[in-house]
Chain A
């Protein structure tokens, strides 16, 4: 994987989950297999230091279950302040899949027919989860990586990370004035970044699609050239056929180049942009949770003030509890936000560097092959 998550996370490359040591970099989602009507992902991980390998089949529902388990408040203060590593969207039923539908559902991840990009996104998700200081300690991870039977189907309890409906009150809450300047700024900047990153990702999707189309058109052109070549006795026709075949070869080179460039765009730049984009959405959700808590706190304070003496003590308790919770959330959130900022910069750095290197390499290779062809062709021309 291009983007090295463990380096980004500043954490140890191995994680300990209650005696179960896992090497972060060994976590792989190797392939997606179509079984019956659903997609099954092969998830691999290696224990440290025993080097014991685990391979399990997981469906998307299992990932969803994992995500929800992570969110279940179980006594960790300020859990809601965590910016959760974003899970890719659910893959649609692939009976009637067109690229349009896939892109609508999955965004950039839908551009790859082979699901390779999607697997890479899942892989990154797992690595991010496992290497998170808090989340990585969750017990469920063990069973996720080792149990043969997938845990999915138990997606009963809805976690707090559900897509909150944009009801009018929610929107009002979203825009609720913040008490803290840091958070005020962050919310504003996050809001604009979410929009811009999403727009950039969408434009990149358009570029990659066109590049894929060009590759197809090249293939078509090349085939047509080939089909026109038949047995010729006429010397002129023979030469023409030779030329056609030569051109056909060149067009194939162009095609391969486009495929390579598109792939780099998709799997390096695209993945990075997509991750950043979804992370920003995740941050948005976290900020929203915190704002909700703020609203709750303010409500409780109001209630306290309005409360009758008999209930005052009770109200005080409630208010104090929510105040404490809010503080925890804010503390964790602050750390998470700072970490995210760092992560963002690092993701961009790594993926832009790697992408540039790959594109440079592709250009050099193509240039050298084409130059060879040109030289050979010119020689042929001068001898004929």
Chain B
């Protein structure tokens, strides 16, 4: 019964506790043994990802006390998020658990033709490998669109709900064409989960779009002007790109959180019966899905959403002051601080030159992309200006035409005004093309590189952990040898046990390090391919838009020419 077990806290990105990964692995080991004994099936071996996710769903529903979640929840405390999108869904010990319904049971495990030592992480990797192959085998056929932004609610509690439509022929989904409603904080929640599951073992998890207090406030307040429409459109597009990038990753695509996000209409939006693991009672959380129980705040059945919010905010004065930063922003900030410290302390003995070179390359790429982004932003800005000026010129020409006595000239000037207005439209469209095709793409990649860097950092941390384990083993051996000369048999035994323990940890550390190195290599390869492809596609689209603009211009000029000639 899961209630007996008290699994360790799962971490979020960058807070990889030494303890936590280990314990997670202990989870594996026992899992593996359990699974080994289950009846095998003739189907090809693939460990369902969900079962081996080191930090969240266990093979059996397990409670996970999420200490670090407190911080995450704090981070989510912005006016927009209010109560939604927890980092973790409660995992229930009994009853139907909406949070973890595995969407499709993937293949069962076949017994490995492995010797006695249970190479757990190897198993993990192999299965993920195979997942990737499977995914590659399937022609990548999934199309996600984010559309129909809809304002829900009023005032500062309002939010935008987006329709997420998935069209696919992949077997991992139960239907071919389906859609759900999601809000921005749901996307952030999804990213958080994926990041905490995969980043520390070397997978590059695409970052979610950034929060914008200013932009969102305008929308909430109900300002129906151009800038808030643009903001919503920009966000909608960013969310779409984010989801597409996420599902393009063969491993992430199989993740139950992702599948649930895309498919489940129950996700996050309705209040439901929640079994509060702490209090061991049933409460009805009217507020959508936030399991305050796990952060220690009382959830009682009569509280309305608003008062819960107040309670929440009142208890967390710190959160208010961080409202200016988004959840992702806070994480990044904290991570950067931690990494800076790490960089100073971890001097890694880099055996593999490839990693050093790659890190340098990514640094260079980062710089280059930022510069390019700056250039494109300037271009977009000027184009918008041109549109404004052209419209202004058109108006002047129209007025001039109206004051003109000469009929033919008057008409020609009016026509001139119309042509200029149309050209203004073209300028606007072209500006949007510049923006979405390049500016946003470059921005996305700058953010992606941050994730890449994080993954490299994680490798260093894994190495460091391994080294620490070796040191510890050394110490234990020394302690043991000292004890040899004393007459304390039980202490000696304890020392020997500890040595065994640490030997295992050293081995594990080495395996982890090799694993993450291998994963990173693959991920970097994938990233590079993706990068090239994305830019190629962008350039082609851009060219097409340029050609189209010119052809439109040709039409306009051809129409205007006879008018000009006919003046006199």
Contact = CB atoms under 8 A, between A and B. Distances in A.
Interface in B77-132: none
A377 B395 CA distance: 40
Contacts of B558: 360
B542 interface: yes
B416 A211 contact: no
B543 A377 contact: yes
Contact of A221 (B379, B386, B532): B379
A224 interface: yes
A246 B393 CA distance: 35
Contact of B379 (A218, A228, A355, A370): A218
Interface stretch (A14-22, A25-33, A188-196, A327-335): A188-196
Interface of B: 361, 364, 368, 371-372, 375-376, 378-379, 382-383, 385-386, 389-390, 392-393, 395-397, 399-400, 403, 405-406, 408-409, 412-413, 416, 525, 528-529, 531-532, 535-536, 539-540, 542-544, 546-547, 550-551, 553-554, 557-558, 560-561, 564-565, 567-568
Contact of B540 (A213, A227, A230, A381): A381
Contacts of B542: 247, 250
Contacts of A381: 536, 540
Contacts of A240: 528, 531-532, 535
Interface of A: 189, 192-193, 196-197, 199-200, 203-204, 206-207, 210-211, 213-214, 217-218, 220-221, 224-225, 227-228, 230, 234, 236-237, 239-240, 243, 246-247, 250, 254, 257, 341, 344-346, 348-349, 352-353, 355-357, 359-360, 363-364, 366-367, 370-371, 373-374, 377-378, 381
B396 A246 contact: no
Given A192-B403, A203-B389, 4 more contacts: A224-B372, A348-B409, A360-B554, A367-B547
A348 B379 CA distance: 33
Contacts of A206: 389, 392-393
B390 A207 contact: yes
B334 to A, nearest CB: 31
A210 B565 CA distance: 28
A243 B406 contact: no
B404 to A, nearest CB: 8
A243 B532 contact: yes
Q: Which 9 A-B pairs have the closest CB atoms?
A: A236-B528, A367-B550, A349-B567, A360-B557, A352-B564, A203-B393, A221-B375, A200-B396, A228-B368
A200 B528 contact: no
Contacts, number: 160
Given A243-B536, A363-B557, A228 B403 contact: no
29 contacts: A196-B396, A196-B400, A203-B389, A203-B392, A206-B393, A210-B386, A211-B386, A213-B385, A217-B375, A220-B378, A221-B379, A228-B368, A236-B532, A240-B535, A345-B409, A349-B565, A352-B412, A352-B567, A353-B565, A356-B560, A360-B557, A363-B551, A366-B550, A367-B547, A367-B553, A371-B547, A374-B544, A381-B536, A381-B540
A206 B389 CA distance: 6
B539 A352 contact: no
B393 A207 contact: yes
Main secondary structure of the interface of B (DSSP, over half): helix
Contact of A353 (B371, B413, B532, B564): B564
Contact of B382 (A200, A210, A353): A210
Contact of B567 (A214, A250, A345): A345
Contacts of B383: 214
A221 B372 contact: yes
Contacts of B567: 345, 348-349, 352-353
A239 B529 CA distance: 10
Contacts of A363: 550-551, 553-554, 557
A247 B385 contact: no
A374 B543 CA distance: 6
B405 A189 contact: yes
B539 A189 contact: no
A341 B404 CA distance: 10
Contacts of B525: 236
Nearest to B387: A210
Nearest to A236: B528
A177 B432 CA distance: 55
Nearest to A341: B406
Contacts of B561: 353, 356-357, 360
Contacts of A193: 400, 403
Contacts of A237: 361, 528
Nearest to B394: A203
A121 to B, nearest CB: 20
B543 A250 contact: yes
A346 B379 contact: no
B530 to A, nearest CB: 9
A247 B539 contact: yes
Contacts of B531: 236, 240
A367 B554 contact: yes
Given A220-B375, A363-B557, A243 B547 contact: no
Contacts of A243: 532, 535-536, 539
A227 B367 CA distance: 11
Name the residue in A218, A227, A246, A366 with the highest tally of chain B Cβ atoms < 10 Å from its Cβ: A366
Contacts of B546: 250, 254, 370
A345 B528 contact: no
A235 B535 CA distance: 15
A217 B376 CA distance: 8
A99 to B, nearest CB: 15
A240 B553 CA distance: 32
Nearest to B374: A224
Contacts of A366: 550
B557 A214 contact: no
A213 B392 contact: no
B393 A200 contact: yes
Contacts of B409: 344-345, 348-349
Name the residue in B397, B399, B536 with the highest tally of chain A Cβ atoms < 10 Å from its Cβ: B536
A359 B557 contact: yes
A231 to B, nearest CB: 12
B386 A214 contact: yes
Contact of A207 (B389, B395, B532, B565): B389
Nearest to A351: B564
Contact of A367 (B371, B416, B551): B551
A241 to B, nearest CB: 10
